[in-house]
Amino acid sequence: MVDTDIAIDFLRRRDYAQRLLESWAGEGLLAISVLTHLEIYQGMKAGEERATNAFLDNLISVSVDIPIARRAGTMLRELRLKGTTIGVADAVIAATALQFGVPLLTNNVGHYPFPGLMVIRGLEV
């Protein structure tokens, strides 16, 4: 599962992101949450739509279904009870990765303090 920050860095042609996604594409199919579409489009600049669409269309986009939504809500509640607040989009992205049993590629490791989630930091490649 590719987090938004890695996808944006790929679109901005950062070398590490290019190498990271090439490496993981060889391991299997790359996927993103539909919330990553939202986050990317929110920050997209003029003239970037064609390249952005081409990139996103080559990934598996996972919709938020009821099990993912419930899992994300439960995860957020458990963190809140411990005094930690995390954004809803990050919880949904994490719940999606957990639901499918796949690692999350991100540089925002601190956004994902969820037990059982395998987080792989992109800059380490």
* pTM for this prediction: 0.91
Domains defined for the chain, CATH in brackets = 4-124 (3.40.50.1010)
**Angle between helices 66-81 and 88-100 in degrees, nearest 10:** 120
Q: For residue 124, what pLDDT is reported?
A: 55
How many CB atoms neighbour CB 35 within 10 A?
A: 22
Mean pLDDT by 10 residues, the chain (125 residues): 96 94 86 96 93 94 98 96 94 97 94 94 72
Quote the tokens at residue 80: 């809140």
Question: Which of helix, strand or coil describes residue 3?
Answer: coil
Distance from C-alpha of 55 to C-alpha of 78, rounded to nearest angstrom:
35
> DSSP H helical segments within the chain, as ranges?
4-11, 15-25, 34-43, 49-57, 66-81, 88-100
Q: For residue 125, what pLDDT is reported?
A: 46
Quote the tokens at residue 49: 């739509």
Q: For residue 113, what pLDDT is reported?
A: 94
CA 74 distance to own-chain centroid = 19
